[in-house]
């Protein structure tokens, strides 16, 4: 479990050359289960709340530069220990 703040930098929509930076709050929750001594499975959920939506790197719809929004993701996989 974790939380933090971050920055995303990307091109301004329909600009092509101008960069924009967006600030977000991040929350991460995950679980890890050891199957054997050398293999485990994991799942993580990641939620980000963007305070602005100036750049295309946020992945949010282009609804305006001052409108923030929520973006999330989930990943799962295997870990191998050597």
8, 32, 50, 75, 79 from 1: Cα distances, Å: 21, 12, 19, 15, 18
Give the per-residue pLDDT at 65. 56
* pLDDT tens, residue by residue, 3-36: 999 999 988 877 778 898 999 999 999 999 999 9
Give the per-residue pLDDT at 47. 92
* pLDDT tens, residue by residue, 51-62: 988 888 888 877
Give the per-residue pLDDT at 48. 92
């Amino acid at each position: 479990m974790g939380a933090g703040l971050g920055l995303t930098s990307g091109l301004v929509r329909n600009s092509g050359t101008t960069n924009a930076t967006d600030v977000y709050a991040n929350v991460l929750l995950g679980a890890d289960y050891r199957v054997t001594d050398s293999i485990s499975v994991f799942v993580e959920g990641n939620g980000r709340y963007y305070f602005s939506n100036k750049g295309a790197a946020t992945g949010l719809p282009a609804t305006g530069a001052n409108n923030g929004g929520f973006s999330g993701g989930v990943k799962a996989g295997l870990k191998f220990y050597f």
